[in-house]
Amino acid sequence: MAVRAIRGATQVDADDRDQILAATTELVTEVMARNRLTTDDVISVLFTTTPDLVAEFPALAARKLGFQEVPLLCASEIAVPHALPRAIRLMAHVETDLPRERIQHVYLRGATALRLDIAQ
């Protein structure tokens, strides 16, 4: 087994608790499915949000998906001018047999603009 990092991001329409939880749930679910992972494979997840999102911690969505034993951390992105607004990002550290080139990074909704080279 190797330790790999998986990136992902999504965007919401407003700083709204329900939107943050729904978008984060969708993002985490897609990362797990596309990389054939279970919570036992996940070492830790770092979530970040742009400074305009403060209505809820994205990690709460992961907890509701069964990540009780996985260390989770939320942080705020730096306020870069002209950055994509209302973005939620994650970096998951996982144990997997997948080679690096087969890892599926997941960019959803408006966040596909962040990584046009790898967005699905």
Whether 43 and 2 have beta carbons less than 8 Å apart is answered as no
Question: Would you state the structure tokens that stand for residue 25, as one six-digit string?
Answer: 């749930």
89 classed as catalytic: yes
Q: Which of the following is catalytic: 30, 34, 77, 109?
A: 77
77 classed as catalytic: yes
Alpha-carbon gap, residue 114 to 85, rounded angstroms: 11
102 classed as catalytic: no
Q: Which of the following is catalytic: 7, 26, 34, 109?
A: 7
Q: Which of the following is catalytic: 4, 56, 86, 107?
A: 107
Q: Which of the following is catalytic: 30, 34, 74, 109?
A: 74
Rounded alpha-carbon distances, angstroms, from residue 61 to 29, 46, 49, 83: 10, 13, 14, 24
Query: Which residues lie closer than 8 Å to 46 by C-beta, 6 or more apart?
Result: 72, 73, 74, 75, 90, 91, 92
Q: Which of the following is catalytic: 26, 30, 34, 115?
A: 115
Q: Which of the following is catalytic: 17, 36, 63, 102?
A: 63
Q: Which of the following is catalytic: 30, 89, 95, 100?
A: 89
115 classed as catalytic: yes
Enzyme catalytic residues: 7, 63, 74, 77, 89, 107, 115
